[in-house]
Structure 1
């Protein structure tokens, strides 16, 4: 990490802590509704600006996801008095962490509603090795088929997200005694779009979208149409928020392609649900359904999500930053191993 970004990280962390302390103070003294929302407006306006303090693409994109998306939605739920993850009665450090990161208070070990948080050490090591292998393959990118390269990009994104969130989970456990919210549940096993987006991929997002978007729209429209409207509204909002994340990555104006991608996913998910509601209609075997689901997501992603990244050559920046991290981890591991050997050699 560059020295400038280290200073920015310190400043952003301090700013977020101060902002969330103010939010907790206001929430404890104001009733839900317009009074709370009015008090939260300054924080809601500042949070999306903070990720722009970073020069590193990964820091901008990750902090954008945490602050401009998750934190904003959590604060809106708190302002409305909805059943969100935030509670003004939480101790201040826990409140700041839950508000600004995808973490929660640790549940009792025996609780049946306490899913595993983060990745195991072996799984993390395997994923890190796979990511390092993918990064090494980029050197031969000019010789690769475009679709093979796009597949590598897709795996790169998935593995990076898993590892970043695993690191966050480990830090939350050690520093705060908290757990990461469940994020991924083997998305490559999804047999439908509804299963992929609702129950397996980036789970903190659909949980917030259901509370902030789907349920209010569904209640307002009512009936069968309300269910479809809630799903479509959630996917549309997700598309808009992905436009913001792509902006943090590329620093280019939104193109609307991410919104189109998620709108298409929403329409197809609604159609899929309509088909599934007819019990007598044919259904493919699960293996076939999984293949079709993943193929559809990848094909539409290559069409609408990847171009804004590659068009601005942001993919090259992502690769360069990832290579730097891989080299750093490799050198740090070599230094640690050498230090351990020297220690035991000296003692013998």
Structure 2
């Protein structure tokens, strides 16, 4: 990260802390509903501009995800007295819960049925090493088949998200001192689209979409199968629209609509899966077949609709360049640390 972005990070962190302090103050004094929402409007208007303070793509896109998607959705829930935020939280904890994509674990939940919480040190190290290997392969990208390169991009995105969200959860856990729900639950084992998006991929965002979109739409339609299907499809469409916003932070270009089409397609297929699963006598593929079919569908549709808005303007090249610089920095820092340790040990001997 350039020196200018380090200064931007300090400025953005200060602005976010001030905004959330104001939100906490207003929440304590206003009733849920329109009074709170009206008080939150200045913060809701300011947050989308803060990621633009970063020149580098990674901090701009990550802060866009945290502030424009996660924080804004949680503030909308808080305005109606829902969601994980509560004004009784100390200000550091309030800021962490408001801005990080984390979900507090339900204390009444059976720990045996709960998925693993976060990444361990070994898993994090393995994922970081795999990510470094993928980044090192990009030097040969000009000679790669297009679909091989897109597969590497897919793995890169998954590993990066796992590591970034695990780091955010670790920071939130340190501030809150409580257990948190995991961010991912081995999405490579998904046996259906509903399993992939609803129970394994980016679970904190799935929880927000259920609270903000799925449940209200389903309640408005009176529940039942039609309401559940409409709520699910609406959640996917809203996810697509928010990905359009995230892609705009990545490329600094207007939305193309392809991300919305990607998630609308997956939402329609997930609804069809639910309809098929409701018929108990109808055949279902075994997990050994369903899992590769699910992953192949996610990858194939991603190649056609998800990645083009990023690769077309060349944003992937900036991602690769920043990752290569990051890997080089870590390698040089590790080499310096090893050299320093050897010098100290040889001096003592």
Q: Into which bin does the TM-score normalised by the smaller protein fall?
A: over 0.9
User: How far apart are 1:125 and its partner, in Å?
Assistant: 1.3
Which position in structure 2 is the counterpart of 1:23?
23
Which position in structure 2 is the counterpart of 1:309?
310
Which position in structure 2 is the counterpart of 1:190?
190
Which is worse superposed, 279-288 or 135-144? 135-144
Distance of 1:294 and 1:81 partners within structure 2 = 38
Distance of 2:292 and 2:116 partners within structure 1 = 27
C-alpha distance 111-229 of structure 1, shift in aligned 2 (>3 A): closer
C-alpha distance 306-210 of structure 1, shift in aligned 2 (>3 A): same
User: How far apart are 1:178 and its partner, in Å?
Assistant: 5.5
Task: Deviation per CA, 1:191-248: give whole Å up to 9, x if none.
Answer: 0000000000000111011111100000101232101110010001000000000000
C-alpha distance 321-303 of structure 1, shift in aligned 2 (>3 A): same
Distance of 1:104 and 1:304 partners within structure 2 = 29
Distance of 1:158 and 1:117 partners within structure 2 = 17
Distance of 2:277 and 2:330 partners within structure 1 = 47
Distance of 2:105 and 2:217 partners within structure 1 = 32
Question: Structure 1 stretches of 5 or more lacking a match?
Answer: none
* Contact 2:190/2:200 (<8 A) preserved: yes
Task: Deviation per CA, 1:29-73: give whole Å up to 9, x if none.
Answer: 001000000000000111111111100101111101100000001
TM-score by structure 2 length? 0.95
1:329 aligns to 2:334 (yes or no): no
* Contact 1:218/1:229 (<8 A) preserved: yes
Distance of 1:178 and 1:59 partners within structure 2 = 27
Superposed, 1:18-97 pairs within 5 Å as 18-82=18-82, 84-97=83-96
Distance of 2:155 and 2:13 partners within structure 1 = 30
Which position in structure 1 is the counterpart of 2:258?
257
Which position in structure 2 is the counterpart of 1:280?
281
1:240 aligns to 2:241 (yes or no): yes
Which position in structure 2 is the counterpart of 1:12?
12
Distance of 2:340 and 2:105 partners within structure 1 = 35
User: How far apart are 1:267 and its partner, in Å?
Assistant: 0.3
Question: Structure 2 stretches of 5 or more lacking a match?
Answer: none
C-alpha distance 257-66 of structure 1, shift in aligned 2 (>3 A): same
Task: Deviation per CA, 1:90-136: give whole Å up to 9, x if none.
Answer: 1111111111112456888x983875433111111111111111111
Structure 1 counterpart SS, 2:281: coil
* Contact 1:172/1:179 (<8 A) preserved: no
Distance of 1:123 and 1:81 partners within structure 2 = 37
Structure 2 counterpart SS, 1:230: helix
Which position in structure 2 is the counterpart of 1:151?
151
C-alpha distance 319-244 of structure 1, shift in aligned 2 (>3 A): same
C-alpha distance 293-150 of structure 1, shift in aligned 2 (>3 A): same
Structure 2 counterpart SS, 1:212: helix
C-alpha distance 118-339 of structure 1, shift in aligned 2 (>3 A): farther
C-alpha distance 115-272 of structure 1, shift in aligned 2 (>3 A): closer
Which position in structure 1 is the counterpart of 2:125?
125
Which position in structure 2 is the counterpart of 1:203?
203
* Contact 2:116/2:185 (<8 A) preserved: no
Structure 2 counterpart SS, 1:48: helix
Task: Deviation per CA, 1:169-197: give whole Å up to 9, x if none.
Answer: 33344566455542111000000000000
TM-score by structure 1 length? 0.95
* Contact 2:237/2:260 (<8 A) preserved: yes
* Contact 1:107/1:114 (<8 A) preserved: no
Which is worse superposed, 219-228 or 169-178? 169-178
Distance of 2:242 and 2:106 partners within structure 1 = 30
